[in-house]
């Protein structure tokens, strides 16, 4: 088991969320489900998403997710950004600069690797133009970032 594991508190949808998250990424699976009684609802779900281990608890309604913590996804292409954005915002909500909340209120950052590359441009003015373009986006658009960089 990895040394530090992200622990997610859900009201009563931990198993549904874990099943959904594992459907989004390769190298993902439900590892185990601890139930309340033999056939009762899930209490704790251990799962891997893209090889990263998570624990999801059905802990009740006392705590809600907020933007103070988010799951950051480093995407390889616009197609990956688009696919994850569409699936994660279904029943959720879009925010700014690549951030969104899924249907359970968990915050995600769906960020293409090209954003980092362009923000590290050797010309600070170009990097600033890229930052300005990103600040005006909800879902990150690689072509828009490249246009802001003059590419």
Residues 75 and 36 in one domain: no
pLDDT, position 2: 86
Residues 105 and 142 in one domain: yes
Domain that holds residue 123: 65-151
pLDDT exceeds 90 at position 33:
yes
CATH number at residue 52: 3.10.180.10
Chosen domain end from 45, 61, 77: 61
Chosen domain end from 61, 77, 99: 61
Residues 126 and 139 in one domain: yes
pLDDT exceeds 90 at position 125:
yes
pLDDT digits (tens, 9 = 90+) for 54-105: 999 999 999 999 999 999 999 999 999 999 999 999 999 999 999 999 999 9
Token couple for 59: 């802990």
pLDDT, position 41: 86
Residues 11 and 74 in one domain: no
Q: Return the percentage of the chain with pLDDT > 90, whole number.
A: 94
Chosen domain end from 37, 61, 85: 61
Q: Return the percentage of the chain with pLDDT > 70, whole number.
A: 99
Cβ-defined contacts of 50-54 (< 8 Å, 24+): 50/25, 50/26, 51/27, 52/2, 52/6, 53/1, 53/2, 53/5, 53/6, 54/5, 54/6, 54/7, 54/8, 54/18, 54/21
Query: For the chain, what is the domain count?
Result: 2
Residues 16 and 41 in one domain: yes
Residues 50 and 76 in one domain: no
Residues 89 and 148 in one domain: yes
């Amino acid at each position: 088991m990895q040394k530090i594991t992200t622990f997610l508190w859900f009201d009563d949808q931990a198993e549904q969320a874990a099943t959904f998250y594992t459907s989004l990424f390769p190298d993902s699976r439900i590892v185990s489900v601890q139930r309340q009684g033999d056939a009762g609802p899930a209490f704790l779900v251990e799962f891997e998403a893209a090889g990263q281990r998570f624990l999801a608890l059905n802990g009740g309604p006392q705590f809600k997710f907020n933007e103070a913590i988010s799951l950051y996804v480093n995407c390889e292409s616009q197609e990956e950004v688009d696919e994850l954005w569409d699936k994660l915002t279904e029943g959720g909500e879009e925010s700014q600069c690549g951030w969104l909340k899924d249907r359970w209120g968990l915050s995600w950052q769906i960020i293409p690797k090209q954003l980092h590359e362009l923000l590290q441009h050797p010309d600070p003015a170009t990097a600033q133009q890229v930052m300005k373009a990103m600040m005006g986006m909800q879902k990150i658009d690689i072509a828009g970032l490249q246009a802001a960089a003059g590419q």
